[in-house]
């Protein structure tokens, strides 16, 4: 098995640019995941985000999680649990309108730092989308424009902690799924592992690496690239020791963005457009109930819907 792809973005400004772009292309086509270093986000900011995230969990979330475990009797389960995940989470929205200031459970310093971090991640996401455009032969800015809709992209962060689990063979940290949206940027714990992706029918560990950002592609990029790039099943395995921190930031299309394969990636005179055309929010409504099921029936359902609503989409 090839090594998990780690891309040094600093090499884009050197004679290594060609090889670096090829590495990104291969990762998008064959992994759906890659890890980036020298990504432009300061180490000091990342260290502060990590410290404040872990402090917030200890102060505000840990006891609640223990009470939930006790209430549901999860410490003494005897058989596999398939309807919940061993995680403690909250969600912050950054775009189109931030709600970070409204979350009074977060200390003022934490809110300020998360706004800074989100601004840096937004820049990185948009830079990565342009690199994908370059590799795909699409005009610069194409993906950002598709994602924009009428009000701009949706962008938010799911802040998760995965506490020690006494029965990791019976309860997943997070059940297997593909991500519904666009491009996902993950700042994960560098000491406690657990994230895995499915490649060639084998679960592969995504290696924890200090100060890296893990990138993965969501369902919308699979549609826009007409299947050239794929969203990939991934999961989190709960661990018996250590609490794993995870900040997954989702740069997604706007609610009314119309998603369909890029015309440049659909061959002429050929029925090679195998993916539907739809409004992003319609897909998200479907995904909400089917997150932990296969993505293909979701695409088929949207295909059926899009044939009915073709006229409505044309007027969006």
Identify the pLDDT of residue 316: 43
- Please state the pTM of the whole predicted model: 0.93
Identify the pLDDT of residue 189: 94
Identify the pLDDT of residue 272: 61
According to the 3-state scheme, what is the secondary structure of the chain? Answer: CCCCCEEEHHHHHCCCHHHHHHHHHHHHHHCCEEEEECCCCCHHHHHHHHHHHHHHHHHHHHHHHHHHHHHHCHHHCCCCCCCCCCCEEEEEEEECCCCHHHCCCCCHHHHHHHHHHHHHHHHHHHHHHHHHHHHHCCCCCHHHHHHHCCCCCEEEEEEEEECCCCCCCCCCCEEEECCCCCEEEEEECCCCCCEEEEECCEEEECCCCCCCEEEEECHHHHHHCCCCCCCCCEEECCCCCCCEEEEEEEEECCCCCEECCCHHHCCCCCCCCCCCCEEHHHHHHHHHHHCCCCCHHHHHHHHHHHHHCHHHHHCC
Task: Judge: domain 6-275, CATH 1.20.1050.10.
Answer: no
Identify the pLDDT of residue 304: 82
How high is the mean pLDDT in each 10-residue block of the chain (316 residues)? 89 97 98 98 98 96 93 85 92 97 95 98 98 98 97 97 93 95 97 95 95 98 96 96 96 97 81 84 92 90 68 45
Identify the pLDDT of residue 267: 80
Identify the pLDDT of residue 82: 86
Domain map (residue ranges) of the chain: 6-275
């Amino acid at each position: 098995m090839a090594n998990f792809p780690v891309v040094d973005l600093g090499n884009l400004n050197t004679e290594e640019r060609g090889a670096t772009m090829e590495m990104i292309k291969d990762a998008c086509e064959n992994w759906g995941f890659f890890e980036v270093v020298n990504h432009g986000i300061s180490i000091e900011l990342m260290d502060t985000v990590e410290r404040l995230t872990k402090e917030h969990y200890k102060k505000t979330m840990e006891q609640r999680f223990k009470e939930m475990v006790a209430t549901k009797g999860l410490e003494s389960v005897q058989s596999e649990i398939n309807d919940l995940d061993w995680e403690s989470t909250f969600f912050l929205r950054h775009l189109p309108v931030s709600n970070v200031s409204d979350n009074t459970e977060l200390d003022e310093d934490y809110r300020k730092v998360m706004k800074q971090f989100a601004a840096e991640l937004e820049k990185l996401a948009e830079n990565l989308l342009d690199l994908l455009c370059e590799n795909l032969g699409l005009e610069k800015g194409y993906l950002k424009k598709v994602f924009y809709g009428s009000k701009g992209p949706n962008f938010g962060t799911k802040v998760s902690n995965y506490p020690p689990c006494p029965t990791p063979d019976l309860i997943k940290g997070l059940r297997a799924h593909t991500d519904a949206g666009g491009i996902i940027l993950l700042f994960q714990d560098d000491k406690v592992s657990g994230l895995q992706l499915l490649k060639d029918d084998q679960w592969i560990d995504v290696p924890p690496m200090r100060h890296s950002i893990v990138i993965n592609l969501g369902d919308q990029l699979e549609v826009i690239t007409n299947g050239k790039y794929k969203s990939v099943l991934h999961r989190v395995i709960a661990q018996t020791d250590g609490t794993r921190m995870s900040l997954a930031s989702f740069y997604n299309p706007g609610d009314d963005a119309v998603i369909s394969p890029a015309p440049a990636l659909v061959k002429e005179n050929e029925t090679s457009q195998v993916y539907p055309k739809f409004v992003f929010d319609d897909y998200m409504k479907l995904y909400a109930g089917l997150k932990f099921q296969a993505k293909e029936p979701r695409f088929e359902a949207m295909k059926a819907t899009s044939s009915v609503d073709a006229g409505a989409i044309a007027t969006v």
